[in-house]
Amino acid sequence: MKFKQRKIVICISQTLLFSGSLPLIASADDLDSGHTVTVTAQSRSQEAQAVPIPFQILKADQLDKLAATNLDSMNGYIPGLTVDGNRPTQPSFYLRGVGTQDFGIGTDAPVGIYVDGVYSGKTGGALMNFNDVQRIEVLKGPQGTLFGRNSAGGAISIVSNEPSDELEGEATLRLGNYGTKYAAGLLNIPLNSDWSLRFNVVDNKSNGWLTDSGNGQKYKDNDNWGTRTALLWKGPEKTRVLLTWEHEDLHQMARPAISLVAPSPNGVAPAFPADPSSFVDPRRGIVYNDTNANNVETRRYDGFTLKIEKPFAWGDFTSTTAYRHFKSFNQEDEDGTNYNVTFLNTANIETNTTWQQEFKIAGKNDTADWLGGISFYKENAYQDSQVNTNTDSYDTITNNMLGFPLFTTLNGAAAQNGLPLNFLGNSWQENMMNNGSYQSQAIYGDVIWHLQPKWNLTTGLRVTHDSKTFSWNYPNRIAPGLDSVIATANQYGFFNGQSQALAALTQNFFVDSSAPSTAMSIKKSWTDASPRVVLDYHYTQDIMGYASVTKGYQSGGFNSVSMGAQFQPEDVWNYEFGIKSYFKEAKLMLNASLFHYKFTNLQSLTLVQAPGAPIPAYQVTNSDQNATGIDLDAHWAPMRGLKLYGNLEYIDQKYANYVVQNGPDLSGQPVGTPRFSAAAGADYTWYDVMHGNVNLSIQHAYTGATRCNANSAAQMTCLTAPTFSIGSAQNRTDLHLGWQSEDRRWNVSMYVNNVFDKRYVFDGSPITSVLGTPFASITAPRLFGVQVKVRM
């Protein structure tokens, strides 16, 4: 059914696209128009250089040159922003070192993702493929006053194209190595003078660049498609009503676990504990994952948005109503072997539905530009965090931890008594099920006061009330085969007088065994007031300095994998001094900002020894953090056809107060965020070549080494082995060469990502160290391809 739906949508798109002659879509702006590009960073349309907020903009043509399909694929080109899309249904986002890798539905993320002004959540709906994107605005520092919903660390605003009055069409086909096939179709139809329809479809497939050495299965593939339909009505008195529907289907292999220990002969359990000095380089491409598991990642997503805009004599009124729903499944290998004695995988199963409503009014006069609004948010979320293993792996763990293999010992005892019992070879599943019901209401206002011709004072405030009901349910383990063996053993009286031993076989092992097997629910609420004050001074028309004080807020939450555990809200105070400048004669743009923030109760994911659990588990922990840094951004067009750019972030981020549970005191130590990250590029166009223009773009991104602390080795965020390291500095160089016809209808290009084939090891995981099987992930190899784009 999925294949048929995809083909039907693509066929409809192509049929409509080539059914008539369609006019040209506008080309990319030069630097002068880039200086006056309009953004909505302050929830109002303004020129980018007039906005006293540090941010970067990526436009559609820049995404095209990177062959970027989502936020993860442009990693490195916005210093300070890190996107981990290793699990697209469980991504993580960091801005200026602030973010979370927590996968549970009980917490929110401090970096908000917004698509056309609608909050996208933390998990399944946060990392979607680009679909008819106009631009991306990455705003650094707290943005809660204007954006609301959990943007204490910053916000990423994705702005889509709206239907226009012009007949437009575009088709894109991209072919690359590893079986990459990317196709996109766009059609914009003005139905009459009042109605316009815009339809876009994207299909992205690849075979994968990593192969299982045992069964030939391909990993790191792509198999997703999506569509976006927008209908615009222009009513009387400049009323605008925009209705959009977004859909995406994803179905691909889950993140592979690449073992750091050499394969054991005959499938025996590896040595315990694993010795880092003998770790093998995962970049060799030797991968063995479970052959008897359904390790796939899937998502089905739908979103509807209704936006109504109505101008009045006193200002403008906007209503935004949004509905989002997704179902996702991600089951992945957690041991990096295909052995029965070390078999362990986890599954994340989610269903999520959100309703959002915002009413906003805005206006301006000689005294002030003002806006205000109220917003309502409701979310219902379900999550099942599942552990799948077997009694053979259970044996390996008890042998490594306690010095004896439990089920092998029971088999031996049964054999001595002549009983035909086999406790090995049986499946074992545990589930941590959570339900969340959340509501949030907010009222906000923001005013830019024009104090004098060169002075502006911005004051803003958002008051938010969050109410959350959260439940935990940890039912007893599911092991039907083992239960059958136990029942037979009881018939023989095998466990007579051994009630404690029998109880151990029937209760949870990985989940906290002391937790009650019945559901538990907690309801909490919080109220916060987050102010914003900005003073800006315009030295000239093109040079502005500003200073700001902003508070960010993230609601409290709950630890999904620890029954009854809850957290207080996060608070951050951010202090910023910046300058934005444009030198028209030199066509040079220079922006800089100096920042310092203090974060309280920042939620993060840490591997700790949980009470009542025999093995370490990832838990949500809280810490206080401080950081000081600087952002630099430069764009220069020294001659016709040549554009140069560079941007950099320096940050010194440390724990102000944090003691790891059963671990070291990290107060005063670095959090891990690299001190430096930078990106630079050059873009040159040769004009009048073969009845068109030729463009060459070279871009390079650098991310510094992870700053290690006393707990980095235990978390495997820093590791130095004989042949590789985790946490080392990373470099990436990308190349794009393209030709565009004079009428801009035809565009043919080639791209190379990671030109020098730099490979790095990341995402080290010690979670299955109790099996002697730590593992990691690796970055993508060199990717290249060709693209043809036709506009009509």
pLDDT of residue 601: 85
With cut-offs at 50, 70 and 90, classify the pLDDT of residue 31. low
Of the listed ranges 126-130, 366-370, 434-438, 688-692, the least confidently predicted one is 126-130
* pLDDT, mean of residues 201-213: 97
Residues 249-279 have pLDDT tens digits of 999 999 999 999 998 877 788 989 999 999 9
Q: According to the model, what pLDDT value does residue 334 have?
A: 93
Alpha-helix residue ranges (DSSP H) falling in 327-418: 391-402, 406-416
Task: Report the pLDDT value the prediction gives residue 32, as an integer from 0 to 100.
Answer: 52
Residue 617 has pLDDT above 70, yes or no: no
Domains and CATH numbers, the chain: 2-265+286-399+423-606 (2.40.170.20)
pLDDT at position 610 is 57
The candidate with the shortest Cα–Cα distance to 570, out of 524, 523, 532, 603, is 603
CA angle 195, 196, 199 (to 5 degrees): 145
Closest among 538, 370, 369, 532 to 452, alpha carbons compared: 538
DSSP E strands in 474-585: the ranges are 520-540, 543-554, 557-558, 566-567, 570-583
- The arithmetic mean of pLDDT across residues 299-318, rounded, is 97
Burial grade of 768 (CB within 10 A; 0-12, 13-18, 19 or more):
buried
| Rounded Cα distance, 694 and 687, in Å | 7
* pLDDT digits 0-9 by tens, 462-521: 999 999 999 999 999 999 999 999 999 999 999 988 888 888 898 898 887 677 778 899
Ranges 34-38, 199-203, 524-528, 554-558: which has the least confidence: 34-38
Average pLDDT, the chain: 90
Q: Taking residues 370-395, what's their average pLDDT?
A: 96
* Digit-coded pLDDT (tens) for 317-362: 999 999 999 999 999 999 999 999 999 999 999 999 999 999 999 9
Q: Which residues contact 557 (CB under 8 A, 6 or more apart)?
A: 106, 107, 108, 468, 470, 566, 567, 603, 620
Task: Tell me the pLDDT band of 5, cut-offs 50, 70 and 90.
Answer: very low
Return left, alpha or beta for 107; rule: phi > 0 is left, psi -120 to 50 is alpha, else beta: beta
Question: What integer pLDDT is reported at residue 616 of this predicted model?
Answer: 66
Q: 758 pLDDT band (50/70/90 cuts)?
A: very high
Q: Residue 109 — pLDDT band, cuts 50, 70, 90?
A: confident
CA 240 to chain centre: 32
Q: What's the rounded Cα separation, in Å, for the pair 609 and 283?
A: 30
Assess whether pLDDT exceeds 70 at residue 687. yes
* Reported pTM: 0.91
